Structure 1
Amino acid sequence: MTAPTDGSPAHAHGWAAVFPADGPVEHARFGPVPWQPHPAGFAAQDVLAVPGRLSGTAGPLRWDLTEHSGDETLYTFPRWAWNHPVLPAAQIVPAPRCLLTGSVQYSGGELRLEDAPGATARIYGHGNARRWAWLHADLGGGDLLEIVAAVSTRPGLRRLPPLVFLRLRRRGRTWPRGALRPAVGRLGAGRFRARIGLPEWTVRGRAGLHRIRVDVVQAAQRTLALEYTDPDGSKAVCRNSETADARIVFQRWWGRWRTEQEWTLKGTAHAEVGER
């Protein structure tokens, strides 16, 4: 949903994409159509995204999926930032690990799903960031990693390096303990750092006795480029891959750094890089 800053009526629009294992990425857009609030989620003509259901059409793409999630909501940003929209943007993952059943039809065929792993996320903002990177990584066994790293367009903030919001859910616990800690650290010390680029981007950070290294690769042939229009009319380009690679190394200090756990994802990470 976009509410233009010139006062014109809000409108709903979006896009859908499929990343076949044996073919090129395919996508289509829907809308814009007049915004009509929905009591439970998002609706734009026949496109519906509400708890438990995802359905709609976009060009040749058609999807009808039921969603079952037993996982707790993951607040990538502090909970207050989602409940009170005072930041330039905030993100939440209401279903960080869910099971999807149904079908997705596209020009190359049909994908039928039964209890397939997935996730749903939400975001609000006053427009896209100046630069950003995003990662959703299902690490298996109930573990997952969510990262948002961004440079704001606001004066003063846009001169800063990317602010990192990172949440690692591991063995039923979320690290770091505070959602703001990766972005600001303790009085600026220990802040997590991101190097945003393509085809590779990285995040490094430490909190307490633990540190993490994240390396993401988005192959050009498996990445979809799409243009966004902000409420003020400015443009941004998002490069999105549902089949990215990622390597995550989680270490603990025992007089020296020792690896507690590491994960390697080949074509199963969902990643995105955006720029103006």
Structure 2
Amino acid sequence: MAVSVRTRTDPPPTAADLLRPRWRGRPGRLEVWYATITEPRTGTGLWLHHELVAPGDGAAPYAHGWTGVFPAGAAPVLARFGPVPWRAPDGPEVYRAGEVTVSADRLRGSAGDLSWDLRRCGGGAPLYTFPRWAWRHDVLPAAQIVPLPAATFTGTLRYGQTVVELARAPGNIARIDGHGNAARWAWLHADLGGGDVCEVVAAVAARPWLSRLPALPMVRLRVGGVDLPGGDPLLGAARLRADLDLPHWTVTGRLGGARLRIDVIQPADRTLAVEYVNPDGSPVVCHNTERAHARIVVERRTGGQWRTWRSWTLDGTAHAEVGRRE
């Protein structure tokens, strides 16, 4: 008599699982929780950046971060919070630095004359910009994931004398875990509407034997619930090229069987330059804007010719960053 054997597999991790802290006491580690949001009525962009830093010299870990507000018609505003000693959060919270907290359903806190209290709704399935195995097994210098790539946020943002009421404002919550920032990098989050999204992380690793290589672009394009390319994004990165510069940077090449071009413009007067340090103490600067312009074009070959399959233009609603170790 034949006997059937059912292989038992663990269920895929939820967004709440992917947001939980991963640090287990090792020095020289960096974890990041960041949210980027666009309020559609006013065009205001919001950047909430939260870090857990475990210094490489074995000093006590600390929590710190910053908040950037990007009004449509004025210069961006930056405020920092922390550093404070790291304490593992309780209950639904995954991060705490004084009054600043992060959970899967809520973002709140204050920094300088900025304060925010936002509730999250929806978000879609987690988006793996890096391969799943890289996030799960911690084998690369760093990895990024987007647990909530197409969320909406409702609540209140205050900065100075201005109050912005958010009502189902599109945004996302993403994560980074690793040994520190890359030698050079660029990042893009583009909400394409209807749950579709484009996520790009192009980086040159800081390790000496990798720092001479060109930037490796990890690209995930979600269209109609399907993630492209369909295979391992690390293998797909070998067919892409990134030219990292300011105010204009690009990613071009092959995305599976298609042809891809991404152009990003970060206006200088809508971009914040933020200085901070890696776990090893080396200085870093990132140039971030939640008011970037992006053009994304995907072509497919039909009838012997390359023809546009999908294209998107984001005018001041793309979220982008270019950074480097100093």
| TM-score of Structure 1 vs Structure 2, range by shorter chain | over 0.9
Task: Answer whether contact 1:182 1:205 (CA < 8 A) is retained.
Answer: no
Which is worse superposed, 230-239 or 69-78?
Answer: 69-78
Q: Gaps (5+ residues) in structure 1?
A: 185-190
Does 1:85 find its partner at 2:133?
no
Alignment gaps of 5+ in structure 2: 1-51
* Rounded Cα–Cα distance in structure 2 between residues aligned with 1:167 and 1:19: 25
TM-score, length of structure 2 as denominator length: 0.81
Q: Which SS does the other structure have where 1:82 is aligned? A: helix
Aligned to 2:55: 4
1:56–1:62 CA contact under 8 A, matched in 2: yes
1: CA distance between counterparts of 2:301 and 2:218?
22
User: Which residue does 2:286 correspond to in 1?
Assistant: 238
Residues 1-276 of structure 1: matches in 2 within 5 Å?
1-39=52-90, 40-178=93-231, 179-184=233-238, 191-254=239-302, 255-276=304-325
CA distance in 2, matches of 1:208, 1:231: 36
Q: What is the aligned partner in structure 1 of residue 17 from structure 2?
A: none
**Whole-Å separation in 1 of the counterparts to 2:202 and 2:314:** 20
SS of match in other structure, 1:180: helix
AA matched with 1:129: A
Instruction: Give 3-state SS (helix, strand or coil) of 2:202's partner.
Output: strand
| More contact order relative to length (CA 8 Å, sep ≥ 6) | 2
- 1:22 CA displacement: 2.3
For residues 136-185 of structure 1, give each alpha carbon's deviation from its aligned partner in whole angstroms, at most 9, with x where no partner exists: 0001122110000000111221010001100000111010112223323x
CA distance in 1 between counterparts of 2:82 and 2:219 reads: 32
CA distance in structure 2 between the aligned counterparts of 1:237 and 1:14, rounded to whole angstroms: 13
Q: Distance in 1 between matches of 2:105 and 2:77?
A: 25
In the alignment, the residues of structure 2 paired with residue 36 and residue 213 of structure 1 have an alpha-carbon distance, to the nearest angstrom, of 43
Q: Which amino acid aligns with 2:149?
A: P
Structure 2 residue matching 1:83: 3-state secondary structure = helix
TM-superposed deviation, 1:70: 4.2
Q: How many residues align?
A: 270
Spell out structure 1 runs of 4+ moving beyond 3 A. none
Contact 2:182–2:206 (CA under 8 A) maintained in structure 1 = yes
Deviation at 1:258, TM superposition (A): 0.4
Q: Is the 8 A contact 2:70 2:77 kept in 1?
A: yes
Q: Distance in 1 between matches of 2:243 and 2:131?
A: 23
Once the two structures are superposed, what CA deviation does each residue of 1:209-263 show, in whole Å capped at 9, x if it has no partner?
A: 2111000000000000001200110001000000000000110012111001111
User: What's the CA shift string for 1:23-66, capped at 9, x where partnerless?
Assistant: 21011000000001125411111101110000001110000000
Q: Is the 8 A contact 1:51 1:67 kept in 2?
A: yes
Kindly provide the amino acid, as one letter, of the partner of residue 60 in structure 1: D
Amino acid of the structure 2 residue aligned with 1:110: V
Do the aligned partners of 2:248 and 2:264 also contact (CA within 8 Å) in 1?
yes
Whole-Å separation in 1 of the counterparts to 2:202 and 2:310? 23
Does the aligned pair in 1 maintain the 2:236–2:256 contact within 8 Å?
A: no
**SS in structure 1 at match of 2:237:** helix
| Distance in 1, Cα, partners of 2:266 & 2:156 | 26
How far apart are the structure 2 equivalents of 1:70 and 1:148?
A: 20
* Percent of aligned pairs with the same amino acid: 57
Q: CA RMSD in A?
A: 1.0
